[in-house]
Amino acid sequence: MLWKSTSYTGWGRALSAAGELARPERMSTLARLGAVPAIGARRSYGDACLNTAGQAADMSRLDRILGFDAETGRVEAEAGVPIGELARLFAPLGWMPAVMPGTGFATVGGCIAMDVHGKNHHADGSFGQHVISLKLMQDGKSRTIAPNRGKALFEATVGGLGQTGIITSAKLQMIPCEGPGMEVTEQRVEDWDEHIALLDSSEARYTVGWLDATARGKHLGRGIVEEARSTAVRPQSAPKGSAKSVPFDFPRFTLSRVIVSGFNKAYYLRIRDGGQTRIKPLEEFFFPLDRIRDWNRLYGKSGFHQFQCALPEAELPRLRSIAERIAGSGLASPLAVLKRLGPGSGGLMSFPMAGYTLAVDFREGPKARALISELISEAQAGGGRIYLAKDSLATEAQVKAMYPDWRRWAEACARHDPEGALETDLTRRLSLRSL
Ligand SMILES: Cc1cc2nc3c(=O)[nH]c(=O)nc-3n(C[C@H](O)[C@H](O)[C@H](O)COP(=O)(O)OP(=O)(O)OC[C@H]3O[C@@H](n4cnc5c(N)ncnc54)[C@H](O)[C@@H]3O)c2cc1C
């Protein structure tokens, strides 16, 4: 039996879908499914990976490595291969994926369809910029596209939310690394200006800021900046034992204002004055939360939302006021990240833009929804955009205004999927495919 009726959610668990999923193990079986949306590890937070009352192909069993060239660092992998698996396999051989998001569970297909960015976006651009070619299945038939072969379709597919076909495999250019260790320097930053100044002046290939999103007044923007580089030095501690898991949905008080701000303060003070440098296993630096399985249950049964925006550099004061608004709300969780973005992006609907990105998690609830809606409007007013991998609350008008190449993308989708068979809950909610 190919199809199984099931209910499922994205990572945020605030939105869910009931529909039919197939989990093919072979390309021939996938081809028999016809035109249906593909989903990866469902690490997008909102409804990008949901298809209510419809069917979807779960790609997680199409996870073979098809080829690897140790001289050039080129790897060919099926779309269901988790990106962390590529890092785990190839870093000891001197290569790692050029771009990795904050979870190693994201699949190659999901990384292309969202054109994900990593802690090195300012240096290396987005995931799609390292795709040499990919195979796309359209209504059961396969074709190969690349930046210089079917360029228009390639640009609509990278960051294209799976709306041009099913990505079945990709050839990726990895980057050289010294081994599976990362030399990570962590420094405390006392306020917003110091935080931005350190992100701006950092010359590290990998830079990311953790923000105490509850700190206000003179402490607004305080946090920890991590700078890292690959190293041949072996990590002091290999990841120990099996991953821990969150066994049940946490009650609401777990993320109360008092608990979160107390936790954040302790987390901030964990770093010595003057900073500290450690050699960490690659997974610990790139995917710090992956060792706690089901950590999304910490937000309770109703789930959570992530607000993630990008704003151009000139709009830094607006980003500061967004951070101020979040801190004043008392709704933020400890998960808040501030990053510098470079100009690189691989597709028409890619999220990154030169400037800064801020991402903050909020437990689901009417107050959080109202706040996020306000923040989305602010991001739009500043010529920025929100990330569709995280969104569940934006409106059609907002998203169409934020993505200047949206129309070209929607036209390409209409050419390649005229019946709208690949639509997901996200594209329907935002009427993204309606021209
Ligand atoms: C802890 C955590 C940290 C994260 N950090 C980052 C980060 O730093 N940077 C960043 O950019 N993102 C980040 N993300 C978001 C995540 O990387 C993206 O949502 C990514 O797309 C998830 O991949 P997935 O395989 O789970 O795809 P899914 O969530 O299952 O699907 C995402 C989209 O891709 C499409 N898709 C998936 N597979 C295919 C395929 N084979 N063919 C065609 N379309 C497909 C789906 O239709 C959907 O539109 C993070 C997520 C988590 C949970």
pLDDT of residue 385: 98
- Asked whether residue 426 is assigned to any structural domain, the reply reads no
pLDDT of residue 392: 96
**Protein residues with CB under 6 Å of any ligand 1 atom:** 11, 37-44, 48-49, 59, 79, 101-103, 106-107, 109-111, 113-114, 116-118, 161-162, 166-167, 289, 389, 424
145 and 36 part of one domain: no
Q: Residue of the nearest CA to atom 39 in ligand 1? A: 109
pLDDT of residue 154: 98
Share of the chain above pLDDT 70, in %: 96
171 and 219 part of one domain: no
316 and 395 part of one domain: yes
Q: Give the pLDDT confidence of 389-418 residue by residue, as tens digits.
A: 999 999 999 999 999 999 999 999 999 999
- Asked whether residue 215 is assigned to any structural domain, the reply reads yes
Q: Residue of the nearest CA to atom 21 in ligand 1? A: 110
Rounded-to-10 torsion of CA 117, 118, 124, 127: -40
Atom of ligand 1 nearest to the CA of 107: 25
The domain that holds 98 is classified in CATH as 3.30.465.10
C-alpha of residue 274 to centroid of ligand 1, in Å: 36
Domain boundary among 177, 204, 219: 177
Q: What is the pTM of this model?
A: 0.97
pLDDT of residue 421: 98
203 and 165 part of one domain: no
Q: What is the mean pLDDT of residues 17-35?
A: 97
- Retrieve residue 203's tokens: 């010359």
Which band of pLDDT confidence, cut at 50, 70 and 90, is reported for residue 129?
A: very high
- Asked whether residue 425 is assigned to any structural domain, the reply reads no
- Asked whether residue 419 is assigned to any structural domain, the reply reads no
- Asked whether residue 417 is assigned to any structural domain, the reply reads no
Q: Give the pLDDT confidence of 214-236 residue by residue, as tens digits.
A: 999 999 999 999 999 999 998 87
Q: Which residue has the higher pLDDT, 344 or 171?
A: 171
Q: Give the pLDDT confidence of 253-285 residue by residue, as tens digits.
A: 667 777 888 888 888 888 988 999 999 999 999
pLDDT of residue 243: 65
pLDDT of residue 303: 94
344 and 253 part of one domain: yes
Q: Hey, which of 50, 61, 99, 103 would you mutate to test ligand 1's pocket, going by the most ligand atoms within 8 Å of its Cβ?
A: 103
308 and 186 part of one domain: yes
Q: Residue of the nearest CA to atom 18 in ligand 1? A: 44
Instruction: Select from 86, 286, 264, 241 the least CA-distant residue to 172.
Output: 86
Judge contact between 116 and 126, C-beta under 8 A: yes
72 and 24 part of one domain: no
Q: Which DSSP category does 251 fall into? A: P
172 and 309 part of one domain: no
Domain boundary among 177, 196, 216: 177
160 and 185 part of one domain: no
Q: What is the mean pLDDT of residues 182-209?
A: 97
Amino acid in position 366: P
- Asked whether residue 411 is assigned to any structural domain, the reply reads no
Q: Hey, which of 116, 341, 423 would you mutate to test ligand 1's pocket, going by the most ligand atoms within 8 Å of its Cβ?
A: 116
Q: What is the mean pLDDT of residues 142-164?
A: 98
Q: Judging by DSSP bridges, how do beta strands 74-78 and 95-96 pair with one another?
A: unpaired
42 and 81 part of one domain: no
DSSP for 304-344?
EEEEEEEE-GGGHHHHHHHHHHHHHHT-EEEEEEEEEE-S-
Q: Which residue has the higher pLDDT, 1 or 325?
A: 325
**Is the pLDDT at 252 greater than 80, yes or no?**
no
**Is the pLDDT at 388 greater than 70, yes or no?**
yes
C-alpha of residue 390 to centroid of ligand 1, in Å: 9
257 and 389 part of one domain: yes
In the chain, the number of structural domains is: 3
Q: Residue of the nearest CA to atom 13 in ligand 1? A: 101
User: Domain limits at 130?
Assistant: 65-177
- Asked whether residue 424 is assigned to any structural domain, the reply reads no
Strands, E assignment, 10-161 = 16-22, 38-39, 55-58, 65-69, 74-78, 95-96, 131-138, 141-145
135 and 106 part of one domain: yes
Q: Which stretch of 185-194, 261-270, 272-281, 368-377 has the lowest confidence by average pLDDT?
A: 261-270
Instruction: Select from 403, 248, 370, 296 the least CA-distant residue to 15.
Output: 296
Q: Give the pLDDT confidence of 238-251 residue by residue, as tens digits.
A: 555 556 776 776 66
Cα(10)–Cα(8) distance, integer angstroms: 7
- Asked whether residue 91 is assigned to any structural domain, the reply reads yes
Q: Residue of the nearest CA to atom 9 in ligand 1? A: 101
Which band of pLDDT confidence, cut at 50, 70 and 90, is reported for residue 23?
A: very high
Atom of ligand 1 nearest to the CA of 119: 8
Q: Give the pLDDT confidence of 39-90 residue by residue, as tens digits.
A: 999 999 999 999 999 999 999 999 999 999 999 999 999 999 999 999 999 9
Q: Give the pLDDT confidence of 304-316 residue by residue, as tens digits.
A: 999 999 999 999 9
Domain boundary among 151, 177, 203: 177
Cα(59)–Cα(110) distance, integer angstroms: 10
pLDDT of residue 242: 56
Which band of pLDDT confidence, cut at 50, 70 and 90, is reported for residue 295?
A: confident
pLDDT of residue 62: 98
Q: Residue of the nearest CA to atom 32 in ligand 1? A: 110
pLDDT of residue 299: 86
C-alpha of residue 328 to centroid of ligand 1, in Å: 30
Q: What is the mean pLDDT of residues 294-313?
A: 92
Helices 366-381 and 316-329, axial angle in degrees (round to 10): 170
Could you tell me what percentage of the chain is helix, strand and coil, using 3-state DSSP and rounding each to the nearest 5? 30, 30, 40
Q: Hey, which of 59, 114, 206, 293 would you mutate to test ligand 1's pocket, going by the most ligand atoms within 8 Å of its Cβ?
A: 114
